[in-house]
Amino acid sequence: MPNRFGSGGSETYPGGVRHTPIRRSRMTASSDPGPRPAPEIPRQAEAVIAAAVDAAVSRLRSLLETHLAALPEGTVPPEQAEALSGGKHLRAQALITVAHAYGDPDPGFLTAAAAAVELLHTASLVHDDIIDGSSMRRGAAALHVVSGDDTAILVGDLLLGIAQEIAAPFGHRASAPLARALRALSTGQLLEPALGWGDNAPPLLERYAALKTGALFGAAFELGGAAAGATGGDEPDAAALAAAGERLGLAFQVADDLLDVHGDAAELGKDHGADLRNGIPTLPLWLASRRLAGETRAGATDPTCAPGAAPSTAPAEPTALPADRLAAAAGAPEVTAAARARIAELFAEGRAMLPPARRPQLLDLAARIVVPGAPNVVPAIPQ
């Protein structure tokens, strides 16, 4: 395949734009001198990536149109069918950008893998909406609300089958990451009842989020590397890519949990405050519970305490507190700051875990696709 970006010590892009990789030093979130613009990506590189994303989304929509048309009329109403192919397609964008960071990927592999990872993501959302009792998804009524739980479960399963079918022609390098991500998603959901609010809760909360959210980003990064290697070039370490993508995906989930606290349904396109409503701890909610426990220890009134009884110093369960009080605590500046600090740490860890690439600035772009509001942290890039 012709190299659309050039090769060698400096990169040549179509139109003569050149980029010379720069040796970079390690920098932590705390030592970052302040906001800087994200790494500049040559316009021709952006155009190539955008065209590949468009191709993947077109393939996704074509597959859904074909398979949904074969179902009895009304099984999936038009608004819900549109939502199934909607969204921001972040995982496809990240996959395609990673692939171009490491080489000149095979277009067939790239399109199929990007469409498959989006199908797996959407299937997980269809199933999650049933479990969580959510009423809205991507700005439309959730599928189970209009078509019933049984139909929604089967449609989610249908999407999983389509994802594996389009990946299968490219062998285990395409199908295995998807299978591992599906296993992780299911394992994470099964962990949900074990989540708690105690002192040692954060490690399990992060494991849960890494399985439910991070694993699919890990699969996207791994598939991007496999697409780059499918044309005969050097393929980056698959396990390192998956681990880095998972870490960045965990940062994405903490940021999403913050949005769940601060946003609203119209802005998010999905139910607002679902975790709070269902009593599921997230990092911002856990931090809020600790803040409320601290207020209690400092002598603040405990609304769950019986008259005359000593207030508890244990973290307050959301089911025992007015939802608006826990939500307000989760929106406190110190809680937001602590959550954002953790996002910065996870982003720096994930970016540093990515193997060296021919086009390192595209790795920066891929990481910021996952965590767009991340601070400017420049990890060490092995030479």
> Residues 54-103: pLDDT tens digits?
999 999 999 999 999 999 999 999 999 999 999 999 999 999 999 999 99
CA distance 230 to 169: 13
Better-scored residue on pLDDT, 65 or 197? 65
pLDDT range class, residue 17, cuts 50, 70, 90: very low
- In one-letter notation, the amino acid at residue 284 is P
Confidence of residue 38 (pLDDT cuts 50, 70, 90): low
Query: In the prediction, which pLDDT does 267 show?
Result: 54
Domain boundaries, the chain: 11-19+41-370
Return the pLDDT at 44. Answer: 81
Question: Which of the residue ranges 78-87, 311-320, 366-375 would you say has the lowest mean pLDDT?
Answer: 311-320
Confidence of residue 326 (pLDDT cuts 50, 70, 90): confident
DSSP codes of every residue in 63-116 = HHHHHHHTSPTTSS-HHHHHHHT-S--HHHHHHHHHHHHHS---HHHHHHHHHH
Picking from 271, 72, 58, the residue whose alpha carbon sits closest to that of residue 155 is 72
- pLDDT score recorded for residue 272: 57
Q: Is residue 114's pLDDT more than 90?
A: yes
Residue with the larger pLDDT of the pair 215 and 26: 215
Could you tell me if 174 and 112 are in contact, meaning their C-beta atoms sit under 8 angstroms apart? yes
d(CA 298, CA 364): 44
Mean pLDDT for 176-189 is: 97
Contacts of 202 (CB under 8 A, 6+ apart): 283, 286
What mean pLDDT is predicted for residues 309-318? 47
- What is the reported pTM? 0.82
CA–CA gap between residue 83 and residue 147 (Å, rounded):
14
Higher pLDDT, 373 or 273: 373
Q: Exposed, middle or buried: residue 31 (CB in 10 Å: 0-12, 13-18, 19+)?
A: exposed
Q: Secondary structure of 338-361 in the HEC alphabet?
A: HHHHHHHHHHHHHHHHCCCCCCHH
| pLDDT, mean of residues 325-353 | 91
Higher pLDDT, 95 or 28: 95
The model's pLDDT over 252-304, given as tens digits with 9 standing for 90+, comes to 999 999 888 775 545 555 555 677 777 889 999 999 888 887 665 555 444 33
Confidence of residue 325 (pLDDT cuts 50, 70, 90): confident
* Mean pLDDT, rounded, of the chain: 81
pLDDT at 380: 37
State how far the Cα of 12 lies from the Cα of 335, in Å rounded to an integer: 45
Counting DSSP H helices and E strands in the chain, the numbers are 16, 4
Given this model, what pLDDT does residue 264 score? Answer: 55
In percent, how much of the chain has pLDDT > 70? Answer: 76
Read off the pLDDT of residues 226-247 as tens digits, 9 standing for 90 and up: 999 877 767 899 999 999 999 9
Contacts of 149 (CB under 8 A, 6+ apart): 130
List CB contacts of 37: < 8 A, sequence separation 6 or more.
Answer: none
For residues 50 and 234, what is the distance between their CA atoms, to the nearest angstrom? 24
| Half-sphere exposure (Cβ direction) of 176: Cα atoms closer than 13 Å | 8
Q: What is the pLDDT of residue 33?
A: 34
* pLDDT (0 to 100) of residue 24: 33
- Closest Cα partner for 225 from 369, 322, 358, 84? 358
pLDDT at 182 over 70: yes
Please name which of 261, 266, 271 lies closest in space to residue 333, comparing C-alpha atoms: 261
What is the reported pLDDT for 113? 98
Which pLDDT value is given to residue 46? 86
Predicted confidence at residue 324, as pLDDT, reads 73
pLDDT at 6: 43
Hey, what CATH topology would domain 11-19+41-370 get?
A: Farnesyl Diphosphate Synthase (1.10.600)
pLDDT of residue 231: 74
Confidence at 351, pLDDT banded by 50, 70, 90: very high
pLDDT at 273: 66
Give dist(CA 77, CA 79) in Å, integer: 6
